Chain A
Amino acid sequence: SQQGEEDPQALSIQEGENATMNCSYKTSINNLQWYRQNSGRGLVHLILIRSNEREKHSGRLRVTLDTSKKSSSLLITASRAADTASYFCAPTYNQGGKLIFGQGTELSVKP
């Protein structure tokens, strides 16, 4: 399967805490992308990490990539209620052009 698998499926935290979600994939990738989906809306791109990168930051987001373990993590620091959403990873492969998503992690941040 080309899709990534997110873990956990659901995560509930208090405002101000950090949230970590993970993505595992099966074969060598070209890049891995993270997206956010607010309830009922279209996905919004958060960050793209290339296979030769190990860590990337964007504001309160930190993404890591471990190609030896075929996994990536998305860390949201100092979470806010507005971060409540579903988060999806999409690994892309050297032979592929398609963007395929896993089931996602549903994050709930309580005020």
Chain B
Amino acid sequence: NAGVTQTPKFQVLKTGQSMTLQCAQDMNHNSMYWYRQDPGMGLRLIYYSASEGTTDKGEVPNGYNVSRLNKREFSLRLESAAPSQTSVYFCASSPSKARLNTEAFFGQGTRLTVV
């Protein structure tokens, strides 16, 4: 069982470059999330998708765009990377909305450095 798969695992970007972080889940989950985690900090929600075709901003959406391509895939795009976006990015999925008593499953993270 693959669960939640993130690619790439590591990436170095130059300031101003763009890139897309990929996330795919094989558990037929409706909800998917993108978080960032900075050193010594908790996870901050960037974007959330409750179901295919819907997306919603989280706590720190500025500088990011997302696409819920289909039920399996939820991608995160940095259009013009900045050093402040250096972070570890986590994707997660859950069967349904958090209030409906379902747990979330996390990918292993993408370590992004912007120089």
Residues of chain A at the chain B interface (Cβ within 8 Å)? 3, 30-31, 33, 35, 40-45, 48, 50, 88, 90, 92-104
Contact = CB atoms under 8 A, between A and B. Distances in A.
Contacts of A92: 98-99
Contacts of A102: 42
Given A40-B109, A42-B108, A43-B106, A96 B42 contact: no
B53 to A, nearest CB: 14
A90 B98 CA distance: 9
Interface stretch (B14-22, B43-51, B68-76): B43-51
B107 interface: yes
Nearest to A44: B106
B48 A97 contact: yes
Contacts of A3: 42
Given A43-B106, A99-B104, A94 B45 contact: no
A103 B103 CA distance: 19
Contacts of B79: none
Contacts of A43: 43, 90, 92, 104, 106
Contacts of A99: 33, 45, 92, 94, 98, 104
Interface string B77-115: 000000000001010101001110101111111000000
Contacts of B41: 103
B88 A40 contact: yes
A104 B42 contact: yes
A21 to B, nearest CB: 13
B37 to A, nearest CB: 9
B26 interface: no
Given A45-B104, A88-B43, A100-B45, A93 B99 contact: yes
A42 B99 contact: no
Contacts of B56: 97-98
Residue from A40, A92, A95, A97 whose CB has the most chain B CB atoms within 10 Å: A97
A42 B109 contact: yes
Contacts of A42: 4, 90, 92, 106-109
A31 B96 CA distance: 14
